Amino acid sequence: MVPKKRKRRESFGAIRQRSSGRYQASYVGPDGERHNAPQTFDGITDARGWLAVQQARILDGTWSEFDTARAESSGKGKALTFGSYAEDWISTRTNRHGEHLRPRTASEYRRLLAGSLRPFADSRLTAITPDQVRSWYSTLIAAGTKTQAARAYELLKSILSTAVADGRIKVNPCQIRGAASASTGKKTEPPTPSELQAILNAITPRFRAAVVLAAWTGVRYGELTELRRRDIEIVSDDESQSIVVNVSRGVTHVTGQGFIVGRTKSEAGVRAIVLPPHVNDIVTEHLSEFVGRSADSLLFPSADGGGHLAQSAFWKHWNPARIAAGRQDMPWHALRHYGATRAALAGATLKELQSRLGHSTVAAAMRYQHTAGRDEELARRMSELA
| DSSP class per residue in 337-348 | HHHHHHHHHTT-
97 classed as catalytic: no
Catalytic status, residue 110: no
- Written as tens digits, the pLDDT of the chain (386 aa) is 555 555 567 889 999 988 888 898 999 999 888 888 877 888 899 889 889 989 998 998 888 877 777 666 655 555 688 999 999 999 888 877 677 888 888 889 999 999 999 999 999 888 899 999 999 999 998 887 788 899 999 999 999 999 888 878 889 999 998 888 766 556 778 899 999 999 999 999 999 999 999 999 989 999 999 999 999 999 887 677 889 999 999 888 887 788 888 877 767 678 889 898 999 999 999 999 999 999 999 999 998 877 999 999 999 999 999 999 999 999 999 998 888 888 888 877 778 888 888 776 766 666 665 555 555 555 666 656 65
Strands 23-28 and 14-17: antiparallel
In the chain, the amino acid numbered 190 is: P
Could you tell me which residues come within 8 angstroms of residue 356 by beta carbon, excluding any fewer than 6 positions away? 217, 218, 271, 273, 339, 340, 343, 348
Task: Reduce the secondary structure of 190-242 to three states and give it as a string.
Answer: CCCHHHHHHHHHHCCHHHHHHHHHHHHHCCCHHHHCCCEHHHEEEEECCCCEE
Residue 368 falls in the annotated catalytic set? yes
Candidate list 208, 327, 336, 356, residue with the active-site label: 336
User: Rounded CA gap, 354 and 269, in Å?
Assistant: 10
What Rg value do the Cα atoms of the chain yield, rounded? 30
Alpha-carbon dihedral sign for residues 208, 211, 217, 223: positive
Q: Is 93 a catalytic residue?
A: no
Q: Could you give the domains of the chain?
A: 14-76 (3.30.730), 82-181 (1.10.150.130), 193-382 (1.10.443.10)
For residue 237, give the amino acid letter: D
N residues, the chain: 386
Number of other CB atoms surrounding residue 146 within 10 Å: 16
- One of 100, 333, 370, 374 is an active-site residue; which one? 333
In degrees rounded to 5, what are phi and psi of residue 176? -85, 115
SS3 content of the chain, % helix, strand, coil (to 5): 50, 10, 35
DSSP-assigned states of every residue in 247-298: E--EEEEETTTEEEEE--SSGGG-EEEEPPGGGHHHHHHHHHHHS-SSTT-B
Catalytic residue among 35, 168, 208, 220: 220
Residue in 172, 121, 174, 124 with CA at minimum distance from that of residue 149: 174
Q: Of 114, 186, 176, nearest to 150 (Cα)? A: 176
Q: How far apart are CA 341 and CA 370, in angstroms?
A: 9
Q: Between 103-114 and 146-165, two packed helices, what is the crossing angle to 10 degrees?
A: 100
Q: Give the residue from 247, 231, 345 showing the smallest Cα distance to 298.
A: 231
Residue 83, SS3 per DSSP: helix
Q: Is 370 part of the annotated catalytic residue set?
A: no
CB 279 within 8 A of CB 266: no
